[in-house]
Structure 1
């Protein structure tokens, strides 16, 4: 009944659409129910809907596709990537740097941890959309910067985030 391209677009933006539906419900309660407790709850529901919409838009911008090489799994702050030619496991707590290589085909995330080879995860790998929540927990990460770099497709590797210990070490060198 629904074209595959339309179904994919709806799936990509589903969280933002749910947020918009929550906003509409909150506005209905706030302005068309005649006051009382439901009126005030409507304002709270609108605020929750705004938060859902903003995060839904960010997640939709992070999703770049599906069906790429490999599978990503995240279990208890441990990122696992199983690809056709490479793979590996990195703990988020051990991560020293996160970069994006838009020149690779397909573009890949580069995860660096001490004592481990660099883990390359294609943006289109199955389950790669889970990385948004994992990356969002990194202290000091600028989510909007990450999303902008994903869409700009620079001609070089872009550093998205570095651990505080790595940033401090670089400052001491200069």
Structure 2
């Protein structure tokens, strides 16, 4: 039974797992909303709304996931990035982040380049193990455009692209 699906199909189902679960909740909510009466009908309509939101968020996460076969391991704990790579690595606080870029020319795979207040750089491959945890952190950055970040990630530009930069307060 374990060989029922090809490994590529399993990988795609796992990549879109959040969207599939949200779709299932939305379908169950639609069914309850249309066929039940009273409080269960209202719960069904609420489940439909929640499932649609969950599906949209799941599709964004699926576009962000690039696999986990890249070099290194990413951890996000208590608003701190940690990347442990085979040749380099580092740690940076989320509050110290001033610029987020994607570098498609880095070897062996495109990398997120995070720049801190002190000028330190942390390059994290987009397909490192645990890199999908970065989505929540990036989405929480002030004034970031999540859709443009996903568009840049999917089209793989030719040169380094600035995704987000902290606005500096004016003194005058």
Contact 1:100 1:160 in 2 (8 A): yes
Match for 2:30 among 2, 16, 27? Answer: 27
> Match of 2:102?
100
CA deviations over 1:54-100 (Å, ceiling 9, x no partner)? 00000000001111010000000100001011100111111000000
How far the C-alpha of 1:39 sits from its partner, in A, is: 1.0
- Alignment pair present for 1:8 and 2:11: yes
Matches within 5 A, 1:90-169: 90-105=92-107, 106-165=109-168, 168=169
SS of the residue 2:71 aligns to: strand
Q: State the TM-score, normalizing by the size of structure 1.
A: 0.92
SS of the residue 1:111 aligns to: strand
- Alignment pair present for 1:62 and 2:53: no
How far the C-alpha of 1:116 sits from its partner, in A, is: 4.4
Unaligned runs of 5+ in 2: none
Residues in 2 aligned to 1:104 and 1:151: alpha-carbon distance in whole angstroms: 16
> Match of 2:53?
51
Unaligned runs of 5+ in 1: none
Contact 1:66 1:126 in 2 (8 A): yes
Q: State the TM-score, normalizing by the size of structure 2.
A: 0.93
